[in-house]
Amino acid sequence: MTTQTPAPSSTETEPPPASSPTVASRYAAFVAGRRSKWVVLVLWFLLMGIGGSLAAGLADVQDNDPETWLPSSAQSTKAVQLAEQYFADKDSSSAVIVYAREGGLTPADLSKIDADRALLGDKVAVGEVSPAVVSEDKVAAFVSVPLRTSPSDNKVLTDKVEEAGKLTSEGAPAGLDVKITGEAGSIRDFAEVYSGMDGALLGAALAVVALLLLVTYRSPVLWLIPLIAVGLASQVASGVVYLLAKHAGLVVNGQSAYVLMVLSVGVGTDYALLIIARYREELHRHEDRHTAMALAVNGSLPALAASAATVAVATLCLVFGSMNSTKGLGPVVAIGVVLVFFAMTSLLPALLVILGRWVFWPVKPRVTAGYDPNSAQGHGKWAKIAGAVGRRPRAVWIGTALVLGVMALGIFGVQTGQTQAEQFTGKVDSVTGQQLLAKHFPAGSSAPADVYVRDAGAESAAATVAKVPGVSSVGTQVAKGGWTHLTAVLRDAPDSAAAKDTIKDIRKALDGSTGPAADAIVGGQTAVALDVSEGQSSEEKLLIPLILAVVLVMLLILLRAVIGSLVLLVSVVLSFAAAVGTASLLFHVLDHAKIDRGLVLFGFIFLVALGVDYTIFLMTRAKEEVQLRGHREGILTAVTVTGGVITSAGVVLAATFLVLAAIPTVSALQQGLLVAVGILLDTFLVRSLLVPALALDLGPRFWRPGLPALEAAPHESGKSRADVPTSV
């Protein structure tokens, strides 16, 4: 039976006096203060009022122009710039309309195609509609239509594609199949599957988190508070990103926008779980909820600050990437994490203190005599796990490492190079249209390679390109401003590996020619895919070691333990390899074996930055416990008392990223699965078994050169529980 103490004395209700209050203790006292909590609340509602109105405009500053997804120095990027400067191709995209009839096109079909050309030219095209090209077997024909687009509003293009679709389908003879493909058709299909997904994703993420919080807290009220705080923080973060995109040149695209939203919900909920768990503990020890919250924030702040700083600094490394989209993603994620951190350590505590103990109903925490949050009481399952790790640590870490190593073997089954057809989970018009083209024309007809060359070298360049194996035909489009635009139709589909090899051969042949032809620039859809793939490969070689170095430095600053930090870094790498290997097997099972090359870096940045969070939460607590109890008991106590809350945090974050699977594109499905698998591995294997077992096997030298007093008996340190604020 729970005993309740009489009215506590002043020493029980006030934080222990400190001769020199730290920044953390002052911050904690402010956010949980009797009067200052209202200041915190007002400040956040003011920020919400401003940020919420700005967040609504985030979609307007998104730049989804092809150039923003390309390496800044790539040939395809220069080709886009030349097209915009000299050939009036800025804010336009080509739709390829394919007509096909089994058994052959009829005279009525050909008349329909001619009539469509005139209508398209009058009503939707922003340039000249190409003449109809009829296949040799007379079964299919196609025309190319330039359509208006906008880098910040895909609706401009999708509306034009829809209008073109209506014009070509109305009055079509029975049996005539009409499909829209090409760059514009592909963009339309992606825009359709993402249409309305921002709201749906946010709703799904919040619903998943709400369900998990309800199960965790078993309270019909408490789960709402962290969600309110997360929602406000997410809106403020979106508002800040909007301002930077509008006035400071920050590149924001569709990917970074939805990553910001999902990350804000997931990370914010993680931080909330840790704060609330610590607050509940302190409510068992202190009658005054303000004191309890001040202690909770003060104790949790080191781990949460280290976590947020690690994620923010690691993601900021992305600004050194070669891809414009990568450079923009880093600051967006860092802004989101930092603002969520401040919301969870200020707004959430203020709300909880204002509302009082009743938010925990029906199980309100009461002051309990002799309550020790660091004992195994109430942590039965995790006490057993800690005991098992403590009995045979070497066997545990070797066994866990072997399991992770076996899981990592799946990495050899990773296949890159998705085709357009492999980017959607279902059938779409642009894919069907491309398949029709490939069946009756050279497969590259829908997206010829663009060659831009000085007028004096046009003839030589055309002759050189025509000799390249894999090129079906070369034509001159137009000459303007001293430049000539050539088009080269490839024999292979524009998104195939063979087509990319042909682009490489074209560039090599032109580089080896003489005169102005040697300076020709090769662009187009296939060149873009090639340059993106090569850019992603170069980014991996630069950014992965850089991010690992940043994580190592952050661990060294936090733990001041060289051996321990290196061990934790190795565990992170092993965990990432196991996540990629396991996810690869899942992709094969789901019949989506091939991945976009960018998934490797995406997965690495989030799994390393977020996965190391749980180890930081564990080791921050372990460092404090070790100073009081000695190395062995300190490690086991940390595993015992943090197990439940960190596991809950990992499950919530993994479930949040799984929401990405709701987007009907293969890349989103794979992103969600990879990050979720990695977080669960970090939560259940790395943080629970591998890291504590390694720390126990290494003994006190794990902390060297920090904590030298551990060589002595714990009691010789002269510290007591009251002297060391407990963290997570």
Q: What is the pLDDT of residue 20?
A: 61
Q: What is the pLDDT of residue 42?
A: 93
Whose tokens are 């040697």? That residue is 518
The DSSP symbol for 410 reads G
Residue 707 pLDDT grade (very low, low, confident, very high; cuts 50, 70, 90)? low
Q: Which of 77-86, 212-221, 270-279 has the lowest mean pLDDT?
A: 212-221
pLDDT tens per residue, range 114-165: 999 998 888 888 888 888 889 888 999 999 888 888 765 667 888 888 888 8
Which amino acid would we find at residue 505?
Answer: D
Nearest 5°: CA angle at 337, between 331 and 341?
Answer: 145
The tokens describing 223, both together, are 């789960």
Is the separation of the CB atoms in 58 and 240 below 8 Å? Answer: no
Say if residue 634's pLDDT is above 80. Answer: yes
Specify the pairing of strand 415-416 against strand 594-595: parallel
CA 710 – CA 363 distance, rounded (Å): 40
Q: What is the pLDDT of residue 17?
A: 45
Q: What is the pLDDT of residue 216?
A: 74
Say if residue 19's pLDDT is above 50. Answer: no
Spell out the residues 6+ positions from residue 39 whose beta carbon is closer than 8 angstroms to its own: none
Say if residue 57's pLDDT is above 80. Answer: no
Q: What is the pLDDT of residue 3?
A: 39
Cis amide leading into 362 (omega within 30): yes
Q: What is the pLDDT of residue 285?
A: 85
Q: What is the pLDDT of residue 5?
A: 37
Q: For residue 70, report the phi and psi dihedrals to the nearest 5 degrees.
A: -110, 155
CA 490 – CA 472 distance, rounded (Å): 5
Is the separation of the CB atoms in 190 and 220 below 8 Å? Answer: no
Rounded to 10 deg, the angle between the 525-559 and 497-511 helix axes is: 100
Say if residue 501's pLDDT is above 90. Answer: yes
Say if residue 620's pLDDT is above 60. Answer: yes
Higher per-residue pLDDT: 248 or 376: 248
Residue 728 pLDDT grade (very low, low, confident, very high; cuts 50, 70, 90)? low
The tokens describing 322, both together, are 């070669």
How would you write 346-385 as a 3-class SS string? HHHHHHHHHHCHHHHCCCCCCCCCCCCCCCCCCCHHHHHH
Is the separation of the CB atoms in 69 and 535 below 8 Å? Answer: no
The tokens describing 198, both together, are 């921002």
Question: What mean pLDDT is predicted for residues 667-685?
Answer: 89
Q: What is the pLDDT of residue 88?
A: 63
Specify the pairing of strand 449-454 against strand 415-416: unpaired
Question: What mean pLDDT is predicted for residues 6-17?
Answer: 40
Higher per-residue pLDDT: 229 or 710: 229
Q: What is the pLDDT of residue 358?
A: 86
Q: What is the pLDDT of residue 373?
A: 60
Spell out the residues 6+ positions from residue 658 whose beta carbon is closer than 8 angstroms to its own: 208, 672, 673, 676
CA 328 – CA 696 distance, rounded (Å): 42
Calculate the CA 708 to chain-centre distance: 40
Question: What mean pLDDT is predicted for residues 410-424?
Answer: 79
Say if residue 68's pLDDT is above 90. Answer: no
Contacts 24+ apart (CB under 8 A), 15-23: 15/291, 15/294, 15/295, 15/298, 16/722, 16/723
Q: What is the pLDDT of residue 351?
A: 94
Residue 2 pLDDT grade (very low, low, confident, very high; cuts 50, 70, 90)? very low
Average pLDDT over the chain, rounded to an integer: 83
Give how far Cα 378 sits from Cα of 644, 679, 684, Å: 10, 25, 19
Residue 81 pLDDT grade (very low, low, confident, very high; cuts 50, 70, 90)? confident
The tokens describing 357, both together, are 């103990």
CA 636 – CA 633 distance, rounded (Å): 5
Helices vs. strands in the chain: H and E counts, helices first: 25, 10
Q: Which of 345-354, 464-473, 613-622 has the lowest mean pLDDT?
A: 613-622
CA 473 – CA 58 distance, rounded (Å): 44
Spell out the residues 6+ positions from residue 378 whose beta carbon is closer than 8 angstroms to its own: none
Q: Is 34 helix (H, G, I), strand (E, B) or coil?
A: coil
Q: What is the pLDDT of residue 15?
A: 44
Other residues' Cβ atoms within 10 Å of the Cβ of residue 41:
17
DSSP annotation string for 639-697: HHHHHHHHHHHHHHHHHHHHGGGGSSBHHHHHHHHHHHHHHHHIIIIIIIIIHHHHHHH
Question: What mean pLDDT is predicted for residues 284-300?
Answer: 90
Tell me which H or E stretch contains 146: strand 140-148
Say if residue 346's pLDDT is above 90. Answer: yes
Higher per-residue pLDDT: 245 or 350: 350
Q: What is the pLDDT of residue 202?
A: 65
Residue 65 pLDDT grade (very low, low, confident, very high; cuts 50, 70, 90)? low
The DSSP symbol for 426 reads S
Specify the pairing of strand 483-490 against strand 449-454: antiparallel
**Burial grade of 363 (CB within 10 A; 0-12, 13-18, 19 or more):** exposed
Higher per-residue pLDDT: 703 or 196: 703
Say if residue 716's pLDDT is above 50. Answer: no
Higher per-residue pLDDT: 258 or 521: 521
Q: What is the pLDDT of residue 67?
A: 64
Say if residue 520's pLDDT is above 70. Answer: yes
Residue 7 pLDDT grade (very low, low, confident, very high; cuts 50, 70, 90)? very low
CA 632 – CA 714 distance, rounded (Å): 10
Q: What is the pLDDT of residue 83?
A: 83
Q: What is the pLDDT of residue 232?
A: 87
Give how far Cα 120 sits from Cα of 95, 98, 107, 131, 155, Å: 11, 14, 20, 12, 18
pLDDT tens per residue, range 89-105: 667 788 899 999 988 99
Question: What mean pLDDT is predicted for residues 565-582?
Answer: 92
Is the separation of the CB atoms in 66 and 365 below 8 Å? Answer: no
Q: What is the pLDDT of residue 200?
A: 65
pLDDT tens per residue, range 378-400: 566 888 898 899 999 999 999 99
Say if residue 10's pLDDT is above 60. Answer: no
pLDDT tens per residue, range 239-262: 888 888 888 777 777 677 777 877
User: What burial letters (b/e) apply to 235-273, b meaning 16+ CB within 10 Å?
Assistant: bbbbbbbbbbbeeeebbbbbbbbbbbbbbbbbbbbbbbb
CA 72 – CA 539 distance, rounded (Å): 12
Radius of gyration from C-alpha coordinates of the chain: 30
pLDDT tens per residue, range 545-562: 999 998 899 889 888 889
Is the separation of the CB atoms in 87 and 485 below 8 Å? Answer: yes
pLDDT tens per residue, range 445-478: 778 899 999 999 999 999 999 999 999 989 877 8
The tokens describing 179, both together, are 């499909």
In total, the chain counts a number of residues equal to: 728
